Amino acid sequence: MRDARRRTLGLVEDLSDEELLGPRLEIVNPLLWEIGHVAWFQERWCLRHACGEPPIRADADALWDSIAIAHDARWELPLPSRAETLAYMAAVERRVLARLEQRPDDEELRYFALYATGHEDMHGEAFTCTRQTLACPAPTTIAGARPEARERAEGDVRVPGGTFLLGAARDGGFVLDNEKWEHPVEVAEFAIARAAVTQGELARFADEGGYARRELWSEAGWAWRERESADAPACWRRAADGSWSRRVFDRWGPIEPEHAAAQVAWFEAEAFCTWAGRRLATEAEWELAAAGAPDGSKRRYPWGDAPPTPENAHLDGRLGDTISVHALAAGDSARGCRQMIGNVWEWTASDFAPYPGFECDAYAEYSEPWFHARKVLRGGAWPTRARLIRNTWRNFHEPWRRDLWAGLRTCAP
């Protein structure tokens, strides 16, 4: 919990008051509102729900309840100043930590502390998306050197079909409601790429008229492309000599052909697959390729059950952008797929839907309102916290979103 709060503060501390409010856009929140919201969520569930305590601020729900406050209204709220917001965040953290020390055997409080920490981790990743969208400088939390790509991950691997248990096991520790519970599904044999789609491959799609060829796009995808005037990958521009450059936060530079493509909408992923004669994996196929072992067992991570490290997964916001899809061979799945955890989220073909017997957790608004209206992404991205991600984790967003650190991995048709 302390680490999550340090990361939250580190991701906004260098921004001016004007940048903390930012412009009114559909795909971002005002960061001043959002940092208050993560503390409110922590207080709401840990102190008020689990411990029965009154609100620290009488106006907290009117300021930071994301379910009750419409997105566009968040710029119009009488938000506390930066100093007042930070003071509120610190007060909440102190009280929650004190209750955890006073009540070490309180399983309900422990559950909501884990939930609130995961919630804050997710918002921390969203802060990097906001900074990218608004062309802010790279976060000051970034540090480290890119790993070398010593062994190339090329071509496809074949994954045998059969009955597979999709979802989280009941004895696997804390999971979110949309992962519950594992259930048998039948998966036919398939072939999936060893690596995610690269910037170089996305450039070839664009160079060959991919954004202008109506036949490559679904009806909904083409309508989105026309509405958004999407004639190139997000944050890319073409020079007079035909070369591509890409903006990462506030800096432009040449694309990196072997690095994973990011800021790809699902509609773009669908059109790319049509152009390439490929398809997206279903989420059952994706999870089987990531978690399935030859002996029929299921792994928590592609490489096994040990937690992620910098040697096997690009996570925790260390390097500030995607890396080569050929790096980190130590993270290969049993079938030979690389970087199924980390680097970029990967769109799947699947609609976000409940698993059989679904029941909402206490925070009922997390999953259920979005069923059948969003697409599933899997695997996490470079800003995702290592403690958050696992093979069964289901991310979900609208198919038009281009602000996410999302790319794709393709399957043979």
Tens of pLDDT, residue by residue over 93-134, are 999 999 999 999 999 999 999 999 999 999 999 999 999 999
Residue 266 belongs to what H/E stretch?
Answer: helix 266-276
Q: What pTM was computed for the model?
A: 0.97
**Which has the closest alpha carbon to 284: 330, 351, 336, 217?**
351
Angle at 384 (CA atoms; ends 380, 390), nearest 5 degrees: 50
Provide the pLDDT confidence category of residue 377 given band limits of 50, 70 and 90.
very high
d(Cα 347, Cα 286) in Å, to the nearest integer? 10
The arithmetic mean of pLDDT across residues 9-21, rounded, is 97
Residues sharing a CB contact under 8 Å with residue 71, sequence separation 6 or more, in sequence order: 26, 29
d(Cα 184, Cα 186) in Å, to the nearest integer? 7
End-to-end CA distance of the chain: 44
The residues with which 192 forms a beta bridge, in sequence order, are 157, 411
Provide the pLDDT confidence category of residue 143 given band limits of 50, 70 and 90.
confident
Q: How far, rounded to the nearest angstrom, does the alpha carbon of residue 123 sit from its chain's CA centroid?
A: 10
Provide the pLDDT confidence category of residue 144 given band limits of 50, 70 and 90.
confident
Provide the pLDDT confidence category of residue 223 given band limits of 50, 70 and 90.
very high
The residues with which 377 forms a beta bridge, in sequence order, are 347, 395
HSE (CB half, 13 Å, CA atoms) of 272?
A: 29
Contact 258, 149 (CB under 8 A): yes
Contact 292, 166 (CB under 8 A): no
Burial class (CB in 10 A: 0-12, 13-18, 19+), 365: exposed
Neighbours of 107 (CB within 10 A): 9
**Strands ordered across the beta sheet of 395-397:** 395-397, 375-378, 345-351, 406-408
Provide the pLDDT confidence category of residue 179 given band limits of 50, 70 and 90.
very high
Say which residue the tokens 């925070």 belong to.
Answer: 363
Residues sharing a CB contact under 8 Å with residue 74, sequence separation 6 or more, in sequence order: 29, 30, 33
Per-residue model confidence (pLDDT) at position 331: 98
Provide the pLDDT confidence category of residue 403 given band limits of 50, 70 and 90.
very high
What's the chain's Rg over C-alpha atoms?
Answer: 21
Per-residue model confidence (pLDDT) at position 108: 97
HSE (CB half, 13 Å, CA atoms) of 342?
A: 36
Per-residue model confidence (pLDDT) at position 184: 98
Question: Between the CA atoms of 375, 376, 382 and 386, what dihedral angle is there, to the nearest 10 degrees?
Answer: 150
Neighbours of 112 (CB within 10 A): 25
Contact 342, 384 (CB under 8 A): yes
Domains of the chain: 2-133 (1.20.120), 142-413 (3.90.1580.10)
Residues sharing a CB contact under 8 Å with residue 269, sequence separation 6 or more, in sequence order: 280, 347, 407, 408
Instruction: Give the model confidence (pLDDT) of 255-282 as tens digits.
Output: 999 999 999 999 999 999 999 999 999 9
Neighbours of 296 (CB within 10 A): 10
Neighbours of 289 (CB within 10 A): 28
Q: How far, rounded to the nearest angstrom, does the alpha carbon of residue 242 sit from its chain's CA centroid?
A: 32
**311-350 as b/e, with b when 16 or more CB fall inside 10 Å?**
ebbbbbbbbbbbbbbbbbbebbbbbbbbbbbbbbbbbbbb
d(Cα 110, Cα 8) in Å, to the nearest integer? 21
104, two tokens: 């070490």
Q: Is the pLDDT reported for residue 172 higher than 90?
A: no
Kindly give the residue spans of alpha helices, DSSP state H, lying in 277-363: 283-291
Instruction: Give the model confidence (pLDDT) of 36-61 as tens digits.
Output: 999 999 999 999 999 999 999 999 99
Residue 324: helix, strand or coil by DSSP?
strand
**Strands ordered across the beta sheet of 190-193:** 156-159, 190-193, 410-411, 279-280
Residue 179: helix, strand or coil by DSSP?
helix
Per-residue model confidence (pLDDT) at position 66: 97
The residues with which 279 forms a beta bridge, in sequence order, are 411
